[in-house]
Amino acid sequence: MAVLDSVDRTLLRLLQDDATMPLAELAEAVNLTTTPCWKRLKRLEEDGILRQRVALLDPVKLGISFTAFVQIKTSNHSQDWFNHFVSTVTEFPEVMEFYRMAGEYDYMMKVQVADMKAFDNLYKKLVASVSDLTNVTSTFAMEPLKYTTALPV
């Protein structure tokens, strides 16, 4: 785990709020000149803490506000099956998050699509692409109550 001081943490919080914030504003916010601020940002990138800067899009305005959580059980736990499963699922652009789980289900995905028909198409594509799925259970979000990409730094 990386050692971060208060300046690093403040920079990370500011960038999580607005990754387009100019270097001069970031530097001023942490009481540094631009060169030391830039060096800190470069170090955070090189250390892999600052992985990338992205734009967050509005799924409602894009017509893809139907959120499903898909839990999957399998009877096959071989490395070959796992590799095929992961490579297949990660190619689906509708899959926003994908986890190997401990507990009742083996895997869980967060899926973002336009509607139930689009979800059904994704479901059919998944079960046709991957064998040995013994249980695929889906739940659907009715309303997002909290959404953030900001980590508590």
CATH says 66-141 is which class?
alpha beta
CATH topology for the 6-47 domain: Arc Repressor Mutant, subunit A (1.10.10)
Positive or negative: CA dihedral 14, 17, 21, 25:
negative
pLDDT of residue 27: 98
Mean pLDDT of the chain: 97
CA triplet 149, 64, 141: central angle to 5 degrees? 70
pLDDT of residue 132: 96
Mean per-residue pLDDT, 78-102: 98
pLDDT of residue 72: 98
Share of residues in the chain with pLDDT > 90 (%): 98
pLDDT tens by residue, 23-51:
999 999 999 999 999 999 999 999 999 99
pLDDT of residue 79: 98
Q: Is the confidence at residue 144, as pLDDT, over 90? A: yes
Q: Is the confidence at residue 1, as pLDDT, over 90? A: no
Query: Which of 66, 72, 73 is CA-nearest to residue 94?
Result: 66
CA 16, CA 38: separation in Å to the nearest integer?
16
Query: 56 falls in which pLDDT band (50, 70, 90)?
Result: very high
In Å, how far from its chain's centre is CA 54? Answer: 11
Domain ranges of the chain: 6-47, 66-141
